[in-house]
């Protein structure tokens, strides 16, 4: 039978006793993967906005001018797509939706007011983090698809003018949505103290894990106890 631990506890997650207790949340490879994705998103947003409207054309100066911006933008998109694929492979299981996530969302007012004692215990990711993950998964897939359609340098012979027009419209709308989701993600990471250091150092304190992801911490402790007892869970 599947257990919660199979989904929420990922390779490398562990608890190290001490004062304070240290919990390993992200391995080095996952953190590098995350920051490549983050950097790609920022560069894509800047270069995309530069091409989006004449009033923002000055942003092309960051990339060496209009022509270079037009050349570089789709290639950054390719990097983003494959980098996010790496994140997807790593994290999709822990982001599967569960019944507790619906309860967490229903109490979103308590989340915004910081009344976490009124929230249900959650695993490695809460409903908000899962919503960001799956939203970006869909949006990036649409962006790469529409981006290929309008990438005339390599694919102009395979699409019609009408298809390109629709692709540009969809690409622009989805790009704005992706930027909005990214802003929410960054704001939440800053708002919840300790979140950013988890993705820079790879660890959090036991107190942080207990407050924000208690179910995940319980699973880690149970897993650690099982190993120490020779494979038999302690009662």
| Residue numbers annotated as active site | 185
| DSSP secondary structure letter of residue 195 | H
Cα gap 175→55, rounded to integer Å: 18
Cα gap 112→184, rounded to integer Å: 13
Cα gap 171→173, rounded to integer Å: 6
Cα gap 206→53, rounded to integer Å: 47
- The number of C-alpha atoms within 13 Å of 151 and in the hemisphere containing its C-beta is 16
Cα gap 141→165, rounded to integer Å: 18
Spell out the SS3 assignment of 80-120: HHHHHHHHHHHHCHHHCCCHHHHHHHHCHHHHHCCCHHHCC
């Amino acid at each position: 039978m599947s257990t919660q631990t199979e989904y929420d506890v990922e390779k490398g997650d562990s608890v190290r006793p001490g004062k304070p207790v240290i919990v390993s949340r992200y391995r080095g490879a996952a953190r590098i993967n995350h920051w490549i994705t983050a950097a790609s998103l920022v560069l894509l947003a800047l270069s995309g906005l530069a091409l989006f409207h004449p009033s923002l054309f000055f942003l092309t100066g960051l990339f060496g001018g209009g022509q270079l911006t037009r050349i570089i933008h789709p290639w950054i998109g390719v990097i983003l797509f494959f980098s996010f694929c790496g994140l997807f492979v790593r994290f999709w299981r822990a982001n599967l939706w569960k019944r507790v996530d619906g309860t967490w969302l229903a109490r979103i007012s308590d989340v915004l007011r910081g009344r976490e004692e009124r929230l249900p215990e959650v695993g490695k990711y809460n409903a908000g983090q899962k919503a960001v993950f799956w939203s970006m998964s869909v949006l990036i897939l649409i962006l790469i698809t529409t981006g290929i359609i309008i990438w005339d340098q390599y694919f102009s012979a395979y699409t019609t003018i009408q298809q390109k027009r629709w692709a540009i419209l969809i690409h622009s709308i989805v790009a704005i949505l992706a930027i909005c989701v990214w802003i929410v993600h960054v704001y939440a990471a800053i708002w919840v103290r300790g979140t950013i250091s988890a993705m820079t150092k790879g660890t959090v304190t036991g107190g942080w894990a207990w407050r924000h992801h208690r179910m995940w911490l319980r699973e880690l402790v149970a897993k650690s106890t099982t190993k120490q007892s020779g494979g038999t869970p302690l009662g």
